[in-house]
Structure 1
Amino acid sequence: MERKIEFTKMQGLGNDYIYVDVMKYPLPDPERYAVEWSRPHTGIGSDGLVLIGRSDRADFSMRIFNADGSEAKMCGNASRCIGKYLYEKGLTGKTEILLDTLSGVKVLHLFPEQGVVNRVSVDMGVPADIHPVTLGDGFPYAEGIAVSMGNPHLVIFVDDISQVALQDVGPALERHPLFPDRVNVEFAQVIGEGEIRMRVWERGSGITQACGTGACATAVAASFAGRCRNESDVVMDGGVLHIRWTGEGGHLFMTGPAVKVFDGVIEIS
């Protein structure tokens, strides 16, 4: 028996996901649909699938599945888009929303203008497990900085980011033995005071236009390494995120756009 599911495709800096309100449309086997719907030619096309649901400890919950079906703990770009979705769909009138994720409860600050939310700031919590790592033989880059934003990141600073063959080195670094659960990989170049150019290979999705938690991890790593202060703009292929970190042991705030691409209906059996 076929059933119709309403969805919304949204993007934050080109990091695009399919959003489903599972309070209205329960979705069994989301891993399967993340894979099927994310395909660009035979599906909807996206970096993954995001489920918006109820929570016992926050206003709403988020579950996020990558294009390969694996479940992620957190996505900064997706969390901003959820804030826009909830407000514009009339599911809340709040401009401060508590969002339950697998990496903890995040606080979304919305900036609506005439009923439309184009910009959201997210309290991403406290960055953790920040330390330098040596990548070892067999890898073209010797060192990086590990950062946890509720999900694992490896940040590698380079002199010229245009020379990084991300499609070649990304898969191997994602599965580096130091990270048994795989890792998101960011290559970064400081291009000015408080400005960082970054490209990302996302765990489970590959090259994406942007990564919110990756931008946060990159800003933290830059501050940790003395390359930038605690406030910076991270420039990605899809656009710019403003990152403000209150310092070691303190919270980090990410601010950027959220855009609806289109609404749609898809049938499942």
Structure 2
Amino acid sequence: MLARQRQELILDAVRTTGGARVSELVDTLGVSDMTVRRDIEVLARRGLVTRVHGGATAAGSSVEEPGFAAKSGRNPAAKQSIATAAAALIEPGASVALSAGTTTHAVATALLGVPGLTVVTNSLRVAEVLWAGDATVVLTGGERTPSDALVGPVAVAALRGLHVDWLLMGVHGMDVEAGFTTPNLAEAETNRALVATARRVAVVADNSKWGVVGLSTIAALDEVDVLVSDDGLEPDARRTLDECCGRLVLA
């Protein structure tokens, strides 16, 4: 296969799903890791993709927000493992806040096995999952984003004065300098309000989020008590997160 043909296939993969990992492209294209990285570099120089740690995203993706359906198909096995590990942090009868997102949606399903919970969420999808169990669900209200988060002044006002044992929060990206980020300014404000409600904060994010920087910072790495990720996280990322976060859990 010619280099241009490979690069077109990489570009198609990035445009279809919003991003592609080097390891996945190696398997798909049947070439070496180094070849894929060179092809990504060529596409990045042409302004067609953005290089991120371990792969590539669509150009300008730091300010573009994929919809819930588009994100649901990314790393489903890792999200399920993360959800199981995150649910294990929560004791029966606890009060828990859950942000919007596909990983927290998986966490909500895992929490169905924990009795007596009170759950605060700004996600209709998370609320729908939990209404099927015996949890008491408090939905914030607010304006809906492409990722199905409820955000804005109504959501922030609903969170004022609330106090929960845990916040389980999904993020768009995590970076040593930028911290935990999202591409949506209103969602960042609402997530910061969620952080303020919680005695302990756990971020749930798969390995593809490392090195991705969204438009707005929610929290610094050292402001969270636990980061739950997966064993696909690369060694340098593990070291950094282990040093900066309160505790690193790899599912």
* TM-score above 0.5: no
**Which structure would you say has the larger RCO, counting Cα contacts within 8 Å and 6 or more residues apart?**
1
Larger relative helix fraction: 2
Instruction: Give TM-score scaled by structure 2 length.
Output: 0.26
Larger relative strand fraction: 1
